[in-house]
Amino acid sequence: MSAKTRRFRITGRVQGVHFRHHTRLEADRLDLIGYAANMPDGSVEVVVAGAEAAVEALRAWLHRGPRAARVEAVTELEAGEHELPPARFEVR
């Protein structure tokens, strides 16, 4: 099993709809570590690490998000070494 670290930027109606909280629940279910943070431009940034299949499952979930969200786009970027996630999944 290979480990993968990824960074995502999610845009749309993603703040004020418990997006970060539901992302943490989904990441915990998938046994992933990382964080979700609101960004000043209204987007949400997610940095996540774990088994490649679990990261891909979270990536697919991010395109839907929680019921109240309206995801317009998910931009996927390689995470740099300075973006290594914490030892568990956090909401920032």
Sequence spans of domains, the chain: 3-80
73: left (phi over 0), alpha (psi -120 to 50) or beta: beta
What integer pLDDT is reported at residue 78 of this predicted model?
A: 74
**pLDDT at residue 81 tops 70:** no
For 59, other C-beta atoms within 10 Å of its C-beta total 16
Query: Could you read off the pLDDT of 5-29 as tens digits, one per residue?
Result: 899 999 999 999 999 999 999 999 9
- Give catalytic residues, as residue numbers: 20, 38
What integer pLDDT is reported at residue 80 of this predicted model?
A: 66
**pLDDT at residue 1 tops 60:** no
Higher pLDDT, 35 or 85: 35
- End-to-end CA separation in angstroms for the chain: 29
Burial of 51 (0-12, 13-18, 19+ CB in 10 A): middle
pLDDT band for position 2 (50/70/90)?
low
Q: Is 68 in a helix, a strand, or coil?
A: coil
CATH, domain range 3-80: 3.30.70.100
